[in-house]
Amino acid sequence: MSRRAAYALVDWGTTSFRAWACASDGTVLNERRTPEGLTGVIDGDFAGVLTRHLAAMNVAGDTPAILCGMVGSRTGWVEAAYLSVPTRLDDLANRATPVPSAGRPVHILPGLAQRGDAPDVMRGEETQLLGVVADGFDTGLVCMPGTHSKWVKLDGGAVIGFSTFMTGELFQLLRTGSILRQAVEGAEPPRPDTDGFAEGFARGFRHPAEATNALFQLRAGWLLDGAAPSGQAARLSGLMIGLEFAGATTVHGTGDRMALLASGPIATLYEAAFAAAGLSLARRFDADQCVRHGLLAAAHRLHSDRSPT
């Protein structure tokens, strides 16, 4: 006889939907991943989309769902207001926003906001960080690469500050919508074990003031020397990540224990970047696992009657 899910855990972003049906001890009973993010919800029917996906995973209609991500933004289902840092991550569940008329108990976890002279926001990453803390890393600096990379300072399970770097978005814009497009057209995905990536990273990390000059040199190298697109794309990737590391180490320093939270090929790129920068990693975390662990920790707090004894 199959086990009955105690919780539905959902990471619902702008362009993606990930859900896990979990037992009370966190065992994954079923999983669903689709590109049906916020942009795919028609006429605001979030309840219908959630119900359809959970039914496909055989999740009972009274099973509580805990959600995180852009589903809690102003353009999402119900806005889950930002919590100002410093904020203890184990307080996320206490400040979750209930969703009325959802057909089942549904809560959306809040994002985090840094106010003042260095304003910043995150939504979704805070739940991954809750998973990081639940896995034993509660103090140090966490690097979270992505379209908008986050560098987050933790102290005793609290977020005390963070910075966002638009590395992935800028890489994509430069690769597809700038004069560099022809120089990298048809390139293979960047790999960290190439000279191009290492050269680009060193330039961005050690000489960030020369960044715009280094960018144009990518085009010039293609025009004058016929530099291969894959090599130029690797240089561009390394350059952008090097700029991020230069900025992050300027803002946060290098004295903290450091952890990398990433999944897939980008994790390999950033591991190489840490080594090239001479920075050691105390821990490496899988982003997919951490968001699930964070949602589970919140579920245990919100629905203690279903938590394992």
With H, G, I as helix, E, B as strand and everything else as coil, classify residue 249.
Answer: helix
Q: What is the CATH number of the domain that holds 271?
A: 3.30.420.310
User: Can you tell me the distance from the alpha carbon of 59 to that of 62, in angstroms, rounded to the nearest whole number?
Assistant: 8
pLDDT at 92 over 90: yes
101/173 same-domain check = no
124/173 same-domain check = no
- Asked if the structure places residue 149 within a domain, the reply is no
* 305 confidence band (pLDDT: 50, 70, 90): confident
Q: Is the dihedral of CA 44, 100, 27, 125 positive or negative?
A: positive
214/244 same-domain check = yes
Average pLDDT over residues 38-56: 94
- Asked if the structure places residue 2 within a domain, the reply is no
pLDDT at 263 over 50: yes
Q: Number of structural domains, the chain?
A: 2
How far is C-alpha 93 from the geometric centre of its chain's CA atoms?
19
Phi/psi at 157 (nearest 5 deg)? Answer: 85, 10
297/244 same-domain check = no
pLDDT digits (tens, 9 = 90+) for 106-135: 999 999 999 999 999 999 999 999 999 999
With H, G, I as helix, E, B as strand and everything else as coil, classify residue 74.
Answer: coil
259/224 same-domain check = yes
pLDDT digits (tens, 9 = 90+) for 241-251: 999 999 999 99
Confidence at residue 84, expressed as pLDDT on a 0 to 100 scale:
97
- Asked if the structure places residue 120 within a domain, the reply is yes
Q: What is the CATH number of the domain that holds 94?
A: 3.30.420.300
pLDDT at 309 over 60: no
User: Can you tell me the distance from the alpha carbon of 240 to that of 192, in angstroms, rounded to the nearest whole number?
Assistant: 13
Tokens 């103090």, located at residue = 139
- Asked if the structure places residue 32 within a domain, the reply is yes
Confidence at residue 3, expressed as pLDDT on a 0 to 100 scale:
82
pLDDT digits (tens, 9 = 90+) for 156-172: 999 999 999 999 999 99
Kindly provide the residue ranges of all beta strands, DSSP E only, lying in the chain, ordered along the sequence. Answer: 7-12, 17-22, 28-34, 65-68, 83-84, 87-88, 97-98, 106-108, 112-114, 120-122, 140-144, 149-155, 158-165, 258-261, 283-285
25/96 same-domain check = yes
User: Can you tell me the distance from the alpha carbon of 159 to that of 152, in angstroms, rounded to the nearest whole number?
Assistant: 7
262/196 same-domain check = yes
Could you tell me the CA-to-CA distances from 136 to 122, 131, 203, 286 in Å, in that order? 22, 9, 35, 14
* 1 confidence band (pLDDT: 50, 70, 90): very low
Average pLDDT over residues 279-300: 96
- Asked if the structure places residue 156 within a domain, the reply is no
74: exposed, middle or buried (C-beta count within 10 Å: 0-12, 13-18, 19+)? Answer: exposed
pLDDT at 63 over 70: yes
How far is C-alpha 232 from the geometric centre of its chain's CA atoms?
26
User: Can you tell me the distance from the alpha carbon of 37 to that of 16, in angstroms, rounded to the nearest whole number?
Assistant: 4
228/292 same-domain check = no
Residue 90 tokens read as 């184990």
Rounded-to-10 torsion of CA 16, 78, 65, 123: 50
Rg, C-alpha atoms of the chain: 21
Percent of the chain with pLDDT over 90: 94
- Asked if the structure places residue 21 within a domain, the reply is yes
Tokens 């993010």, located at residue = 37
269/294 same-domain check = no
Confidence at residue 217, expressed as pLDDT on a 0 to 100 scale:
97
133/12 same-domain check = yes
Confidence at residue 2, expressed as pLDDT on a 0 to 100 scale:
66
- Asked if the structure places residue 295 within a domain, the reply is yes
Strands 65-68 and 83-84 turn out to be unpaired
- Asked if the structure places residue 15 within a domain, the reply is yes
Host domain of residue 132: 7-137+287-306
116/130 same-domain check = yes
Q: Is the dihedral of CA 130, 131, 132, 134 positive or negative?
A: positive
